Amino acid sequence: MRNLHIATKSSPRSPQLEKACAQQQRPNAAKICPSPQPSPTPGRCHVRDAMGLPPLGLLLSLCCVSGLPFYNGFYYSNSPHGWNPGKGHGEGIFNGVKLVVETPEEILFSYRGANVTLPCRYHYEPAVVSPRPVRIKWWKLSENGAPEQDVLVAIGLRHRAFGDYRGRVHLWQEREREVSLEIRDLRLEDYGRYRCEVIDGLEDESGLVELELRGQVYYLEHPEKLTLAEAKEACQEDGAQIAKVGQLFAAWKFHGLDRCDAGWLADGSARYPVAHPRRNCGSLEPGVRSFGFPDPHSRKYGVYCYRPR
């Protein structure tokens, strides 16, 4: 993308501009390049209205003159050094510099009531020397029907938190270009996927951080089979919430959860974990069995709940 600078002087006259000047008609403006008085600068054409500003008609005509930069309120220079953001440096995000955002690939685990930091850093490739103003945005992605939630936005030292995160989140900037998010007093609903976005001018990049709360996955003993809505309600009444697929999988893989009863999960699927294969319990290989995505209103199963520690 071309570098940005504001045009503060008139451009050299071209044949096209000569034609535009000759055709310009504006009652409250001085004539373009009047013949009795030469222009104060040879080879330049100056037009001013009663307010001392260039008439709008001329600016509009300049848009269509070939050889001039594109105009949309600013001029974009063809020169790679047209904009210099720092002393003696011409680095810019539009000069082949790539913005890179780094977040951890592994899932972060914590506990309800604890404090946790979601790591996020950014850098440029190749590296730039001059500091650049950026805008930071953290938000929580939608999951299991819940809408996206804005968490925090920041520009420099100013930041703003939203909703239930007010008073509990802080932008951690201990190192250069670190924009990690600290969440205090973790709540049950804080688990999920968070996105860290860095915005530099017209460029933006982001990274994903997944947060899980350590806890227990269990099959809820209930006298009746349940629809999906009833299953969610039953877990809440038991002081927990319906488990996610990842939570059930982790409980099977790392804690040997073994149950030959299909139960609802948060994504609307019905599954059950088998650590010790046996007859009448699916295949003879250990794993998490799936019944797919049954109709949530007419089909009834048990439910796997998740209770954070």
How many Å separate Cα 17 from the centre of its chain?
44
What pLDDT score was predicted for residue 128? 84
What pLDDT score was predicted for residue 136? 96
Asked if 136 contacts 196 with a C-beta cutoff of 8 angstroms, the reply is: yes
Determine the longest span between alpha carbons in the chain, in angstroms: 106
Long-range residue pairs from 287-292, CB within 8 A, at least 24 positions apart, any chain: 287/252, 288/245, 288/248, 288/249, 288/252, 289/262, 291/262
What pLDDT score was predicted for residue 51? 42
What pLDDT score was predicted for residue 1? 39
Residues of the chain with pLDDT under 70: 1-95, 144-145
CA 135/CA 137 separation, integer angstroms: 7
What pLDDT score was predicted for residue 212? 84
Q: What angle do CA 276, 282, 288 make, to 5 degrees?
A: 65
Q: pLDDT tens digits, residue range 256-307?
A: 899 999 999 999 999 999 999 998 888 889 999 999 999 999 999 999 999 8
What pLDDT score was predicted for residue 95? 66
- State which amino acid sits at residue 27: P
Query: Against a cut of 0.85, is the pTM above it?
Result: no
CA 264/CA 242 separation, integer angstroms: 8
What pLDDT score was predicted for residue 59? 41
What pLDDT score was predicted for residue 18? 52
Asked if 118 contacts 38 with a C-beta cutoff of 8 angstroms, the reply is: no
Asked if 182 contacts 129 with a C-beta cutoff of 8 angstroms, the reply is: no
Please report the domains of the chain, with CATH numbers, ordered by start residue. Answer: 1-83 (no CATH), 98-213 (2.60.40.10), 215-308 (3.10.100.10)
Q: pLDDT tens digits, residue range 227-241?
A: 999 999 999 999 999
Residue 147: exposed, middle, or buried by beta-carbon count in 10 A (0-12, 13-18, 19+)?
A: exposed
